[in-house]
Each structure stands twice: as structure tokens, then as C-alpha cells.
Amino acid sequence: TASKKAIESARIKAADIGLVICCSYSGDYLFPPLACKIQHALNAERAGAFDLSAGSAGFGIALEIGAERLRSELGLQHILVVASAVQSPFLDKSNPQTAVLFGDGASAAVLSFVPKGFGLLGTEMFSNGGAFEAIRLRAGGSSFPPKEINKEEGSQYLEMDGLAVGKQYLKYVPVMIERILKKTGLTLADIDLFLFHQANL
């Protein structure tokens, strides 16, 4: 539904889509990619399709990759970027750290060429592998294959160390803002609106 609305809003046809990028860790299966299912459902028969897994940062990273593909691949005109999260099956309803923060939803955007000075002006990416265990879903991964899952230990549920995640946010988001402003030649006064992915004030 989100993809169809995005295509309609872009005033193009599904057949015009040259690439589908889907960011999700909760696809129907471990593989094939959920993007392939979306491509088929839309009848976007000429579109390539792949998934990427980058957690909450997935949509932003997919936008960056999509923009780079538009710049580098001759003939590519429109890219569909989809973010999908079906997290309710992985929630322990008795755990307030996660049960009240995560849900199900999807969003989609069509990337196309725009006049100079518009569109994606710059991007900045940062990862801290030291926080690898701060938010996780262990069951189904190669370290916790289905046949070895012990449901009593809770590995089938999304787990989060809220304090550790919050520290990452407070420490690195201001740094990222400074980096992207410098890269684009903008100042804080030039920005009309900041949109943050964060569950609290």
C-alpha cells in the first residue's frame, strides 16, 4: 500500500521503476529479499530489487544508496525505497523497554531527478560497532539458528538496553549534525526543520 501510494504521488507508473530497495529485518523469510516480493506485487517487471538491513537507520541509508545509483547508472530514472517493519511478532508484551516502543508499519518514497539545488544535498553515515549488543534480535541468526532457540531465555524477542541506546544518540547525533552542515556548507540557522528518529524527548 505504501509503495502504491508513493508511485501514485510521484505521478509515474510501476513500470517506470528501475530499482526497488527495501530496508527491513522482518521480511517474510530470511531470503529471498522482501524487495523481490514488492517488485512482483507492483508488476514492476523491469526493476532490480534488493534488501538492506541497517535497523532504524535503514531508510536513510537506502535513500543515500538510491541517490548514488541514480547518479551512477545511466538510464536509471526512478527508484522505489521502502522501509518495512513488522515487529509485533518479536515483542515480549511484558517488557516495557520494548513493548511500548516498537510496532508495525511501512513507508515508501520514489527517488527521481530534480533541479540542481533540490533533493538530497548531502549525507553522512556513522556506525559504532561497540554498541552491537545494545539492541538486538538474536533468534534466527547464524549464532542462534531456529533448531537451537531456547524460548525460555527470550532470544526470540527483540531486546534493548535503553540506557546504552540513549547514550549513543546523545553522543553522536550532534556530531553528525555538525559534520553534515560542514559538508553541505550550511549553518544551523539555515535549517527549518529537524526530523529525528527517537522515541522520547
Do residues 21 and 79 touch, judged by C-beta distance below 8 A? yes
Element (H, E) at 165: helix 162-184
Tell me the one-letter amino acid at 106.
A
Give the whole-angstrom CA distance, residue 6 versus residue 21: 14
pLDDT tens for the chain, 201 residues long, are 999 999 999 999 999 999 999 999 888 888 999 999 999 999 999 999 999 998 888 999 999 999 999 999 999 999 999 999 999 999 999 998 888 888 899 999 999 999 988 888 989 888 889 989 998 988 888 888 877 767 777 888 989 988 888 888 889 999 999 999 999 999 999 999 998 887 677
